[in-house]
Amino acid sequence: MPATPMTTHPADTAVGVIGTGSALPESRVPSEDVARVVGVEHGWIVERIGVLERRFAAKDETGTDLAARASSAALAAAGVGAEEIDVVILATSTPETPIPGVAARLQDAVGARNAAAFDVNAACAGFLVGLELGRSLLASDPRRRYVLVAGSDTYSRYLNPADRRTYPLFGDGAGAVVLGRVPAGQGISGVEIRTDGSMRDYAVGGPRITVTAEEMAAGEHYLTMAGRDIAHLVRTEFPNLVRAAVREHGITVADIDHLVCHQANPRLIRECAEQAGFTSDQVVLTGDRFGNTAAASLPVGLDTAARDGRIRPGDTVLLITFGAGMTWGRALIRWTAA
């Protein structure tokens, strides 16, 4: 067989987001209903967390189903055919099965038959990790043209309805972006990812491989969170991430057009953003409507703002995320997608 010709690209190119998409389940769960389930006042959820409603996946609806819908929308927005995708990366910590990786299911579902595919699990921070992997894969090989990065989670299946610390927080959903080459000076830059494994017990969930019937009956497979410890970490590291981003790029907080955060807790996000010097107009919030969609939070936020016409070409977007592990990080994007 003849050798495949190598595609070359100008040296003055970078990697950026060229299309976005998202998918949320149809089932809306208002906080009034959640309050009755967990035995608290509706006002307690709204005031302490800031979630008005969230979406829960239907019984026969999987995280891959949501990821496929989000990915198809992102491909359409980018004007890229599925067969043109070189790599599919799916960030999730709630896979249908541990084997095979659900990225393989996603690759097949969207028809990306020429793409390699793999999963990323950094919990709620998984999309940022996938974004950096996708950027690096494109930047390192001129033969690659496009990477599809999706985040999809269905945490409703790991929540204990009796636990008011977790049940009101989460919702299900998926978001996706298509990465491609963009002019130099644009696209993704300033990525920072950190992990402190000594905090690994701050958020724990899902059945262990050796789970017993007794452990299941006792609810040990449900997600548990050390909310105060996580909030302390967010309050400590959020300003550090912002300061590092503006220092690295020689800009100010006022120069950042949009702040898109993992929607761990909308009230906490508003608090941290305000203390870091952001105005409410700069902050993109989706958690009040969708809850904490885990690895989907960042791409859902990007797609929501892009579809609303809020993010425009040339805008500066700062991503900040925190996830179990604990893992946290940030990235700056000079927006190119139309």
75, HSE (Cβ side, Cα atoms, 13 Å): 23
Distance separating alpha carbons of residues 15 and 174, to the nearest angstrom: 22
Distance separating alpha carbons of residues 18 and 97, to the nearest angstrom: 31
Q: Which two tokens stand for residue 86?
A: 């070189």
Let me know: does 186 contact 334? Beta carbons within 8 Å: yes
Set 121, 124, 265, 272: catalytic member: 124
Set 121, 258, 262, 272: catalytic member: 262
CA distances from 166 to 48, 130, 131, 205, 307 (A): 12, 25, 27, 11, 30
- Is 292 marked active-site? yes
Cis peptide before 100 (omega within 30 of 0): yes
Q: Which two tokens stand for residue 255?
A: 């120069």
- Is 42 marked active-site? no
Q: In sequence order, which residues have a C-beta less than 8 Å from that of residue 174 and are 6 or more positions away?
A: 22, 23, 24, 63, 66, 67, 69, 70, 71, 150, 151, 152, 153, 293, 296, 299, 300
Set 121, 258, 272, 292: catalytic member: 292
CA dihedral 262, 264, 268, 272 (to 10 degrees): -30
Q: Which residues are catalytic?
A: 124, 262, 292
